[in-house]
Structure 1
Amino acid sequence: MELTTDRLRLRPWEDSDAARLYELAKDPAVGPAAGWPAHKSVEESLQVIQENLQAPETYAVLRKDDNLLIGCAGLRFGEDACSEKDDEPELGYWIGKEYWGRGYAPEAATCLIDHAFADLSCKAVWCCYYEGNEKSKRVQEKLGFTYVKTDPEGDTLLGYKLPEVENVLKRESWLK
């Protein structure tokens, strides 16, 4: 399945995306803010695609005008999500540093929120960020997420814990 916005295409990840993913994900400003380590090789990026990014409802984010892959956005369900409820997924997203400040993250996130509520009949969408990630915090505020709690023991893939702020957008708020 492919989703589109005015400027973006969201499509499933392909093995052939590994080199481009590596170019974006090797930047230490990108992954660690989202709780994962910077990639060290194209082979590692391929492994991440195959083991994580080819999951259902996880999309490569590409610009429509030049078909350039610029990031990732996805919905995680069940035990992998904040709420662990099948009808309350967790939204995740990241955009390569070179493309920050252009509104791509909110645009991709809005597309997935609309998809979650309109197509998947979800009751709520959760979204989290690690304390200190002001860019992600601002995206969630723009999208209407409301604060639920801060987990002082939020998990990362970095080998240490960071406080994680959990926010939610309920279907009723989205309908407004």
Structure 2
Amino acid sequence: MNLNLVTERLLLRRWNEKDAEDLFRYASDSDVGPIAGWPVHQNIQESREVIKNVFNGPEAYAVCLKKDGKAIGAIELMFKDRTNLTEQDDECELGYWLGKPFWGNGLIPEAVEKILQYAFENCGMNKVWCGYYEGNLKSKRVQEKCGFKPHKIIKDSPVPLLNEKRTVYVNELSKEDWEARQVFKI
């Protein structure tokens, strides 16, 4: 089930082909993709192909500012058929990235909090997995802010899109821990 998710500042919505130009604008920045494990986009056609073939999962969303609806990043819940982190029906992996001009404004933690609520309350998840590559301190901080706990470290993990190996830090958030955090937000 895919629908629009709304936060104070953001709209999380399905990707469409019209987003290719905006995607290219941010995905062509060498500070964005490589740290997350994917290569810099070379042209708008490549961004179109990514929208069609990568951002096509049942819970893949464009992260957009509410004020203009333009895509500035991506967030996705990946179920067992789209992730190597779980084979359980009630667990999924969370992935996200944000265009560099928007870094440091708390937008991705805002999007992550909303999609976690959706995962636990609407998708029947009991655990959400999330990881980051060594050196990606911004992603590490997002996961810490959103309550993820360290689970394991995988050394020499393949990064197929970049044809290299890296250390991956895998974190987890259980529904129980997420619910306990919600009590303190009220």
TM class by smaller structure: over 0.9
Distance 2:95 2:6 in 1: 17
- Unaligned stretches of 5+ residues in structure 2: 181-186
In the other structure, the counterpart of 1:101 is 104
TM-score, normalised with respect to structure 1: 0.97
Question: How far off is 1:31 after superposition?
Answer: 0.3
Aligned length in residues: 176
Kindly, what percent of the aligned residue pairs are identical? Answer: 45
Per-residue CA distance 1:12-69 (angstroms, 9 max, x = gap): 0001111110011000000011100010010000001100102110000100122232
| 1:79/1:85 contact within 8 Å kept | no
Partner AA of 1:164 in structure 2: V
Distance 2:88 2:96 in 1: 20
| 1:14/1:54 contact within 8 Å kept | no
Distance 1:107 1:92 in 2: 14
- Unaligned stretches of 5+ residues in structure 1: none
Indicate yes or no: 2:36 matched with 1:38: no
Indicate yes or no: 2:173 matched with 1:169: yes
Q: SS of the residue aligned with 1:53? A: coil
In the other structure, the counterpart of 1:9 is 11
In the other structure, the counterpart of 2:63 is 61
**Which consecutive aligned stretches of 4+ in structure 1 deviate over 3 angstroms post-superposition?**
none
Measured on the aligned residues, the alpha-carbon RMSD in Å equals 0.9
Question: How far off is 1:175 after superposition?
Answer: 0.9
In the other structure, the counterpart of 1:23 is 25
Indicate yes or no: 2:127 matched with 1:130: no
In the other structure, the counterpart of 1:80 is 82
Q: SS of the residue aligned with 1:74? A: strand
Question: How far off is 1:153 after superposition?
Answer: 2.6
